[in-house]
Amino acid sequence: MSTQRLNGTVKWFNTQKGYGFIKPDGQDKDVFVHISALQESGLDRLNDNQRISFEMVDDRQGKKSAGKLQLING
């Protein structure tokens, strides 16, 4: 089963708090992103307004969040 990748823009990410939100293209609801998703994807930080590709995954509490992050260049 293939998982759909989504593209979006980082609304904000606070490294000290360890989380932030991504605004998916064409959707109204922002997606939560935890610092552990960055670490698992080999990223050290996200910048506001940065373009990103991601998959919806279940977090440790079983809630949907962004995972398998990849930066979109350009």
| Residue-wise pLDDT tens digits, 25-72 | 999 999 999 999 999 999 999 999 999 999 999 877 888 999 999 999
DSSP state letters, 43-71: -S---TT-EEEEEEEE-TTS-EEEEEEEE
CA nearest to 21, candidates 8, 31, 29: 31
Q: How many CB atoms lie within 10 A of CB 38?
A: 21
pTM over 0.85: yes
Q: What residue segments make up the domains of the chain, in order of their start?
A: 5-71
Domain at 5-71: CATH code: 2.40.50.140
